[in-house]
Structure 1
C-alpha cells in the first residue's frame, strides 16, 4: 500500500521486516499476484533508494525465491493436478498483477483444468481490469465501480456459478458488485478450489 501510493520511506520498515522474517526459507509462496509482484518488482527499487548496499544484496538474493501460488505449483513443483474436486461451473478472472507484472500466463488455468468435476468456461474480455487497483478504488470510486460492473456483466454472461481469481482484493471488489446485483455468483480464491475435495468440499464453507 505504501509503495503504490508513493510513501517510499514508510515502506522501508516493511521491506526490512520481510527480509528478517523470510530470509531463512528456500521458497516463499504467496496466494496473491499483487503481493508477489510488490516483493519482486518494488522491493529492490526501494532498497536501492536507501543507498544501503547490504540491503540491496539481501533483496536481490530474496526476490527470486518469492513465488505466486500457481507459479510455485507449476514451475517449481511441476504439478498441475493436486487431486482436487469441485463439481461446479467456473470462470476465471486473471488479475492485473498476475497477468501483467508476473506474467503467470495460463498456469492458474492449467491447475483449474485438472480439477475433478469442474466445468471451466471462458470469461469474455477476461484481460480487462476489474477496477479495484488498491487505493484507485477509493480515489476514483465512480470509475472503479464502472469497470467492476463491466467485469460483473461478463461474468454473468458465462452462466458460471463461481468466479475464481488469485487476489482477494479483486475478489472482494467483484464479489461486492455481484452481491449488490443479486447475481447469485460466488467468488472463490484459486487456493480454495485447489483445496476442495469430495470429502471436504470448499463449497460448504461459502454457504
Structure 2
C-alpha cells in the first residue's frame, strides 16, 4: 500500500498544469460536495466537453457523460470526471468505463492523462460499505499506473454514533466530548479495517485510503503497509 507524503504530493501536483481526477462511487454519495471542499467553493462546476468547449453548469442528476470535464472557477488547476452512479452500470457501460480509464492512463497527450482515481465509499450505510459494484471494480479494472485512492466519506454518522455511545455518562461536557472523539476515531478505524480487509483480497486493490473528517482529509498510516 502506498503512503503519500502530502508535501511531496503537492510538489508533484504543482508541476502539472491540469491535474485530472476521475471520481467514482455510488449515486448520492456526496461526490460533488467533496470536490467543492477540495476547490474551496460552494459553486457548482462548469462542464466542458472533450474539446474544451463549455456546455453548461453542473446540476447533478447524471445528465453528463464521463468524458465531460468538471472544472471549478475557484481552482481551474483541477479537472474532474464523474462516473455518476457507478453501481447502476451495465456490462456495456462497465466496459466503456474501463476503456475510458485505460485510454486516459496511456495517452501520450499529457493534458488528457488521468493522474488519480478517487473512489468514494460512504460510511452512513455501515451494512453496505462495500457492495458488488466496488468488488467488481477492484477485481476487474486494471488502472495501470494510475493510483486509486479510496475516500471514506459521510463520516458524520460516526460522530453521532460516538455521542450516543457516551451519552448518559457522569463525566462533564468536556470529558464527554473527548470520550466521543476517541470513540469516533475507534469507529472510523474499525470501518477502515473492514473495508481494507474486503478490498485487499481482490485483484486490483486500492493504493491508499483517506477519510474526509471535519475540514480536511486525513491519511491513515495504519493502512499503508497492510
Q: Normalized against structure 2, the TM-score is what?
A: 0.30
Q: Normalized against structure 1, the TM-score is what?
A: 0.32
Structure (1 or 2) with the greater helix fraction: 1
Structure (1 or 2) with the greater strand fraction: 2
